[in-house]
Amino acid sequence: MLRLYDTRTRQVEEIRTGRLVRMYTCGPTVYRYAHVGNLRSYLLSDLIRRILERQGARLLVCQNITDVGHLVDDAEIGDDKIVMQARAEGRTTLDVARFYEEAFRRDTTALNLRPPEHTPRATETIDLMIELIAKLIEKGHAYVVPDGSVFFAAETFPTYGEISGNRLEDLKPGHRVEGVDPRKRFHADWALWKHADRELVWDTPWGGTGFPGWHIECSAMSLSLLGDRIDLHTGGIDLRFPHHEDERAQSDTAAGTEVVRHWVHGEHLLFDGRKMAKSTGNVVLLSDVAEAGLDPLAVRLAFMEHRYRQQLNLTWDTLRAADRTLSRWRARVAEWAESPSAPLATDLVRQAETAFADDLDTPAALRVLREIERSPDLAPGSKFETFLHLDYVLGLELSSRIGKAPVLPPGASELLEQRERAREAHDWHSSDRLRDELAALGVKVADTPTGQVWSA
């Protein structure tokens, strides 16, 4: 049974589901390239999916595309992020949104993330949002102001704050901006619909033109495509407040029930000890990793070396180490594939699968793989079968070198040439040192009467 930390209940809980598991994952706001910190939270939902599928469940996953309505400040001030980016690039908002949406899909494919069943765009589901807002108005949970904007009445949802701990009575008015929007009845109310006269607006039944608030988008899409019983809702830890608090209030008041059974959040990623941000100049894209000669799946492996709800400090050294491990494991799997088949190492498989199910303890599962690799007692065929069995969850494509000629990692060719010259000069100290450097790259070197031979 899979156990996960539920952010709302603040404890690890068993995820009891039927054969069909409904999961909603907050998708990207498509106004820029996703950096590796953004991508970490999508690995969370992918691992959950793979583990539950291995346990026999069928997943129905919805991951939205926010292409309108996400303002530059969660306090609902400033402009729409995509509109601002479109102005900066001299393109239409939809051109910008589609460009970065496609870039996001390329990144998730490179990370071997399973595609969700539903990927609704906000701009294509406006009718659902208007319908949901109208329902909230009718039920007394929302109100229209003279300019046509609509606000959710926060005080009508007594359990607000259960996810983040930010209770309404403790929230300070105007804590991020000067003063409080005078149109609000209560300072913690938030916009479901904002009046505007600009590009990308829609007519509404309550008058004027405008666009949806960011929070209502996820409520409308999740309720429509997954229904009012959602088993799991995932996202980054930064979405707890206000996004997920507001989403929960909207969905629960509309449905009349607790819609999401379990809220699961992934922690922040740092790079070289700092939060990844454009202002600090340490934003790393997946394309940067590939340009550095590293496999994008080295990022996936580096992420799994830490628990999803631990803050992770990623570095280039960490990524290079993960790339070497990935290369070595693929070479080993290709080597073991040449041996006679043998049964799974069932006890070790059970250890790894127990770790997966224990709140996604991927570091413990990876330690099992290292134990399998080193074990002198396991037949190569058993190592092969066990590695590929566990790779169903790990998603590292460990079988990708089977039947292919080995390829040297970057820099290995030069080291081999240096070692050959050292041997010819009888410089055995340098020869041994270079052998160790090659081993660190995942390249094994053996000396024969006809010269050195290598495998990777």
Q: Which residues are annotated as a binding site?
A: 26, 218, 243, 247, 278
Nearest to 219 by CA among 138, 132, 120: 132
Measured CA to CA, the distance from residue 314 to residue 203 in angstroms comes to 46
Structural contact between residues 369 and 352, judged by C-beta atoms closer than 8 angstroms: yes
- How far is the C-alpha of 120 from the C-alpha of 1, rounded, in Å? 30
**Residues in binding site for Zn(2+):** 26, 218, 243, 247
The C-alpha atoms of residue 444 and residue 408 are separated, in whole angstroms, by: 11
Give 212's strand partners. 193
Q: Per the structure block, which two tokens stand in for 187?
A: 């300072």
Residue 390 contacts by C-beta under 8 Å, 6 or more apart in sequence? 349, 352, 353, 365, 368, 369
How far, in Å, CA of 51 to CA of 235, rounded?
Answer: 17
> Residue 423: is it exposed, middle or buried by C-beta count within 10 angstroms (0-12/13-18/19+)?
middle
Which residues carry a binding-site annotation for ATP? 278
Length of the chain: 456
Tokens matching residue 430: 């340098």
Strand runs labelled E in 19-149: 20-25, 58-63, 71-73, 77-80, 142-144
